[in-house]
Each structure stands twice: as structure tokens, then as C-alpha cells.
Amino acid sequence: MTVVLVTATSLVGCAKDNTGGATHSPNVTATPTAAALAPVKLKWVLRIPAQKESEPVLAEVNKILKEKINATLDIQFIEAAAYTEKTKLMIAAGEDFDIMFTSPAYNFYDNVAKGAFLPMDDFLKKYAPKAYGQIPANFWSAAKVDNKVYGFPNYQIAARQSVINFRKKDMVDKYGIDVNAIKKMEDLEPALAKMKAGEGADKFIFMSPGTTITGVDTMNYLKLETLGSDGSPGVIEAAGSDYKVSNQYEHPAFVNLLKLLKSWSEKGYINKDLALVKDPTELLKAGRILSYGLNTYKPGAEAESKARYNFDPAFAYVADPIVTTSSVTATMQAISRTSKNPERAMMFLELMNTDKQLYNMVLYGLEGKNYKKTGDNSIEVIPDSGYAPNVAWMLGDQLNAYLLPGVAADIPQKTDQLNKSAKASKIMGFSFDAEPVKAELAQAKTVTDKYILALAYGMIDVDSTLATMNKELKAAGMDKIIAEKQKQLDAWVAANKK
């Protein structure tokens, strides 16, 4: 449900770091030419459903890769609903692959703790000098665990701004909803009441954040920041100068949000059946979901929503934009410890972040077959062509993506402005090392997984359930997790104040 950005033109290469750090200008050695390299085959694991016409696309992709780095590429497509479990099994089985899309939401920190990913520091400057230099320095800091880089950020807008999404023409305009007057979740209730009264029982009025209620967008709205994996016990207050780590599942802001969602469920604004829906795309396209959140707004989201869900959106902004470690690490690539060719994998990441032709081919497919050009830097996707990943944010430097219909040419500038205007987290660059408490984190996740979806959809009593959940979290080692987070954060704060 994330609202994603589609932008174009490379404005990062010579730009200053908009979030407070300078871009790199590393001294690097030239990467070997293709002729000097032995042929290899790379395997890339992506959270994308299988594409019927992927073979012709990969055939053309491999022509480019053979010429430039003497490699061929195989993509393992995995649908979103199955991605976490399938990649978990792949890693546990020690399967051979080279690169994997990852983020804290998809067990980045847990996998680093398990030794599933290789540190990239020895490869970055040598095999990806241009991409390394384009990405702001503190982005690389954000991708570090125990002072080593384990994630290659897919450069995108860094500022995250929590929003509520509406269908514009048939809801906002129809019922005269003033989205600009909605500044917090409670302000949404009159709009929900209007839509329920006018639309009847066959429409899903509001879609709860679901399991992402423990994620970065909800935490940003609540002015909290999680340390480590989404949902793991231990957050800090985003405002002020306090660095105290506490349990978010006892925090008044989180508890009150759950109680609000519970009341909406009782009033019929939230349909509990949606808790069973793993992929709401078809419901959104069919116009059965009228509003949803909490999500992130990004410039260009209007055109992206139109292309993906076939409706014009309107957004209520319920939080100020902020740049955090989590917003940098929300979409990255990792190199597997099972990779037999990590150097070549890094060369491939260099190309995916600097070669506009290659990036757009993987993103949109083949010109004339999967998309048609409508301008020098704009395209129109050909419907039902059999290849349409449409996930610019997952594949590389998003500012290299061709513009989709409706995306204004000034989106890169607006993106830049939003990054500049966003407040940076006070712990930007801090990354939690989960290794000392990985067993406790696994046990805690088992506990939260039992309850969080039912809480988000208002299916169970908030107070009694949270009391039970927190008791089980304590038994799982929550206090040890929070103490370890506090210890590492205190050390980071002390080092950064020198």
C-alpha cells in the first residue's frame, strides 16, 4: 500500500546531501573491463510477482550486462505476501543467490545478525564508485550495522510524511471532505461517517494500517522512532533531546491509536474481513476501499496511484516530513553470504544505479512491447503486456526512472525540496546491532505477530490484550532488548558528541 515515487533525471550526482551530509568524492580504481572478466551468472531476489513476459526482457538486459561486466542475470520473482517467509526459508537453507531486496520490514537487521549478508565496505569504492559517490554520506551511515555497510540504498526521496489516502473524485469531491482540515487521525472520523452513510455496506470504508501499524509511517505519525526492525520493542521520542528507550506497546500515543481504531471498527468504519486480505490491489482497483492509511506521501504519488489503482487520490497530511535511518533503509539491496561473485554483484548494482537504459529496462520492460515513449523522459505503459513491475523504488536510483503519465517534469525538484525541508532524525545514522539479542527479538516477534493484526483491525479489547501481550513480551526478553538498545544508543550518542 506504500505510495511510491516515480521520478526522472539524475539530480543526485553532483548535488549536495540534502539531509545534512556531504556527498562522497572517493579516490577509486577503475573496475575491470568486461573482456578481462570471466563470465558469471547472477541471481537477484525481488519482491515482485512473476512476470509472464520476463524472458524477453531479461534477454535484452543480459545483452547489456554481457557487454559491460560479462555477466547474465536471473531474477527470482516472489509475490509480496510470500516474500518474508520464502526469503527466510532460502536463507535458512543456505540457497545460492547473489543479491536480495531488503529492508527492516523484510528482516534486514535479523538477517545481518544471522550472517546472511556480506559487508560491502571492501567492494563499494572499487566496484561501484559512481553510485557510491552519488549517494549522500549519511545514507551509507544509515545502512551500517556495527560500523559496516550491509545494505545498498535504492536512492529515493528520504523524507517520509505520513498521510491518509482518499479516492478524490468519488469520495472527497462527492462528500465535500476537506482533506486540508485533517491534521490527526481523530479528524478523519466525520469523513468516515459521511462515506459510510452514503455508500452502504458493500464498500470497505477505511483500511487499517494492519501489520504496518508497528512500522515507520505509523511511528512517524506518533512522533516515535523504532530502533532496529519494525515492531521490535524499544522506541525513542522523536522530538526533544531525550534518548530514553521505552516500550512502544505501553506508550500512550500508541495505545490511544489502537483504541481509536477499535472504536471505528465498532462503528462499522473498518471491516474486519480486510484483516484476511494479503494483497488489497484488486479491491482498490474495484473502488471498494474508500480510504486507507497510514502511508507515506512522496512527490509523484498522484500519478503512481492512478497507474496502480486506477483512481485519483487525495491526501490528508497528518505528520511533518522527517528523514530517519529507517527512511533510508526502507529499500535496499543486500549481497548474500552465499554469493560466489560478490564483486560482480557490486558491479551490477553500480549499473542499476547509474545506467539509465538498464534501470528502465528492468523497471518497465521493452520499448514498443511493454511501454511506449511519450517524450524524451516520459513513457506510457502498454496494458496487459505481461511485464510491468512498476516498482522504481525497489530497483535502484529512482531519479533515473522514466516519468509515467501525469507525473510533472518538476517532480525531481519537488523531491529535492521536500528532502531539504524535512527535519533529520536526531539519531540519523544510528543502526541497532541485533546480534546480542537476536534470540529475544525472534521470540518477541512471535508474540507481537499473535496480536498486532487483530489489534489494528479492532477485533479484540485493547487494554486486556496489551496487558497480555506485554506480559508475554517480558517473558520473551523485552527488557533485555530495550536495555541493549539503550546501551548501544548511549554509546552512539557519546561518540557523536565528541
- In 3D, which of 450, 452, 442, 469 has the Cα closest to residue 229? 442
Q: Are 127 and 350 in contact (CB under 8 A)?
A: yes
DSSP 211: G
Gap between the Cα atoms of 105 and 44, Å rounded: 19
- In 3D, which of 336, 24, 413, 312 has the Cα closest to residue 151? 336
Determine the pLDDT at residue 498: 59
Gap between the Cα atoms of 128 and 123, Å rounded: 7
Helix boundaries (H) for 232-364: 252-266, 281-285, 301-309, 325-329, 342-354, 356-364
CATH 3.80.30.20 fits 34-156+327-370+381-399, yes or no: no
Determine the pLDDT at residue 310: 85
Gap between the Cα atoms of 242 and 325, Å rounded: 17
Gap between the Cα atoms of 457 and 270, Å rounded: 7
Gap between the Cα atoms of 98 and 479, Å rounded: 36
Residue 34, CA atoms < 13 Å, CB-side half-sphere = 15
Three-state DSSP state, 335: strand
DSSP 173: I
- In 3D, which of 160, 163, 142 has the Cα closest to residue 151? 142
- In 3D, which of 206, 212, 179 has the Cα closest to residue 2? 212
Gap between the Cα atoms of 437 and 423, Å rounded: 31
Gap between the Cα atoms of 125 and 361, Å rounded: 25
Gap between the Cα atoms of 98 and 254, Å rounded: 39
**Residue ranges per structural domain of the chain:** 34-156+327-370+381-399
The mean pLDDT values, 10 residues at a time, for the chain of 498 residues are: 35 36 43 83 97 98 98 97 95 97 91 95 95 86 89 89 91 95 96 93 89 91 91 93 96 98 95 88 89 88 82 93 86 97 98 97 98 94 94 92 86 78 85 90 96 96 98 98 97 84
Gap between the Cα atoms of 82 and 173, Å rounded: 37
Q: Are 342 and 96 in contact (CB under 8 A)?
A: no
Cβ partners under 8 Å of residue 476, min gap 6: 440, 443, 444, 446, 447
Identity of the amino acid at 266: E
Three-state DSSP state, 46: strand
Instruction: Determine the straight-line distance between the first and last CA of the chain, rounded to whole angstroms.
Output: 41
Grid coordinates in use for 143?
Answer: 545502512
Grid coordinates in use for 357?
Answer: 537504459
Determine the pLDDT at residue 13: 34
Element at 366 (helix H, strand E): none
Gap between the Cα atoms of 400 and 477, Å rounded: 44
Angle at 330 between CA 445 and CA 213, to 5 degrees: 45
Q: Are 348 and 71 in contact (CB under 8 A)?
A: yes
Query: Residue 282: how many CB atoms within 10 A of its CB?
Result: 10
